[in-house]
Amino acid sequence: MEPIVTVAGGAIRGRTEHGVTRFLGVPYAAAPVGPRRFRLPEPAPAWEGVREATEMGATCAQSPYPAPIHALLGSDGIPGEEYLNANVWTPDPAARGLPVMVWIHGGAFVRGSNARAIYDGTAFARDGVVLVSINYRLGVSGFAVLDGAPPNRGLHDQLCALRWVRDNIAAFGGDPDNVTIFGESAGGMSVAALIAAPQSAGLFRRAIVQSANGAVAADPEDARRVSAALAEELGIAPTAADFGALGPDELRTAQNAVALAVMMDPDPQRWGSTVIEQGLGIMSLFPVRDDDIVPGPATEVLAAHPERAVPLITGTTADEFRFFTVPTGLAAGITTDTLPFVLTRYGIDPGVAEAYSAQRPDASPPEIFNAILTDWCFRSGTLDFADANAAGAPTHVYEFAWPTGISGLGACHVLEIPFVFDALSAAHTLTGPNPPQDLATEIHSAWVRFATDGTVGWPAYTPEATHVRLFDSPGSSTVTDLRAEELAALRQAIPRP
């Protein structure tokens, strides 16, 4: 069956299989190429006749993941200019008032797309939700601070996509007044920024932030240091005109070189303190403070404006940072002797390792390092954001604790996504061959309930009652004061805003 619906640009033809209809690669904005690359998003031009929407659309130009990460996730790369597109899965385009979820992918703001198999929205549509996944500008195109260009273009793309959802989702059976946005990693940071942004009012009702925090917003002058390094690498001026004259391959090459330089030499004097501290040693291009949609880090903005809070689920995996150190071999080089030096490199008082070792007497130095970095980069900031949001709206916190079958990775970054999407068959390179379906059913169902009516099935989190849902198999549970001693030691060593 090939149903046809009409959206702002014209008619599109999808495909129905097994009771779910999908429309893929639908442009929500004009192709950001040529003079549009560094402008705010513009409406997609109308098309004649019926546009086929049965194949994944183009993705923003990007480099493949390094080989060890590629082996776990694969990489994204569908050529084409119309990469500001959306995919939609719906149980019935003729329905009315279905809950809507909008997925914002991760990838450190330089990689990723809505075309990944583990982001397939079939299970959400099967369970009565209209699922939308979006692309946005990445890397230099989306986040470099350049003279003659507005900042945070990638976030403006996301806002543009949400306006497209508001104006068009009824054509797919969705309710524009019952939208939940959710995302992981850079996508979760984007969700946090959108909650705090004044321009997002009325575009969504609820939000889910997975494996992210609300502390990310580079100082513009620090971000300009990265742009100056990019321009120097390319032999041009740091202007939209000069960067716009280059092709994506040239931009990618320079972007990779500067990202490596930041990782190898994380010197705040060279790159600026906010690039190093908020980039977490992983990111060099990410949202920046401006006078528009990012007045500051989302946690700070939300603390000052609790009226912007929305019903929220937020959480992390138990072993986030192993994803970055175990496959690459970095963890293997951490010993009792080198651990203090590595922690110092990240600006962390090495004395904090004593508190973690006391709670984990059998843990090796790499395990202690990864536990500290998981809390520093993810868990501490997640709870700070939960504290701020809880002042204005119901907030629920989780930790994904089931360890993957891939040796050494534990409950690592990204691992919860195929459980959320109930797409385990597409994720065995990450989960191992026998992931527990009961856990996918539990988590996916919680996300569906939340998008439908705001309920989740475990108590709300507040600063006074720190309930956390531990998702695990066999048997999830709800706890309070999860690893409070470690978190207190870390926060004493590295105060958060």
Per-domain boundaries in the chain: 4-210, 316-417+431-493
Name the residue with tokens 């996508």: 187
Q: Which two tokens stand for residue 62?
A: 């990007």
pTM attached to this predicted model: 0.97
| Interatomic CA distance for residues 204 and 46, integer angstroms | 26
Which residues of the chain carry a pLDDT beneath 50?
496-497
| Interatomic CA distance for residues 86 and 100, integer angstroms | 13
Please report the pLDDT score of residue 497 as a whole number. 40
Please report the pLDDT score of residue 496 as a whole number. 46
Please report the pLDDT score of residue 400 as a whole number. 98
CA geometry: angle 388, 392, 394, nearest 5 deg: 95
Please report the pLDDT score of residue 193 as a whole number. 98
Residue-wise pLDDT tens digits, 6-40: 999 999 999 999 999 999 999 999 999 988 999 99
Burial of 316: CB neighbours in 10 Å, binned 0-12, 13-18, 19+: buried
Cβ 29 vs Cβ 60: under 8 Å: no
Catalytic residue among 113, 133, 141, 185: 185
Q: In 3D, which of 339, 232, 218 has the Cα closest to residue 285?
A: 218
Strand 98-104 to 174-184 pairing: parallel
Q: Which two tokens stand for residue 79?
A: 């050529």
Peptide bond into 365 cis (omega under 30): no
| Interatomic CA distance for residues 446 and 418, integer angstroms | 14
Catalytic residue among 105, 413, 444, 467: 413
* 320 is an active site residue: yes
* 273 is an active site residue: no
Please report the pLDDT score of residue 216 as a whole number. 93
Which helix (H) or strand (E) is 156 found in, with range? helix 153-168
Amino acid at the residue 115: A
Catalytic residue among 82, 184, 277, 320: 320
Query: How far is it between the farthest Cα atoms of the chain?
Result: 68
* 467 is an active site residue: no
Query: Sheet containing 15-17: which strands, arranged edge to edge?
Result: 15-17, 20-27, 85-90, 130-134, 98-104, 174-184, 206-210, 312-317, 395-400, 467-471, 477-480
Amino acid at the residue 102: V
Please report the pLDDT score of residue 350 as a whole number. 94
Q: In 3D, which of 32, 86, 28 has the Cα closest to residue 56?
A: 86
Q: In 3D, which of 47, 55, 102 has the Cα closest to residue 79?
A: 55
Q: Does domain 4-210 have CATH number 3.65.10.10?
A: no
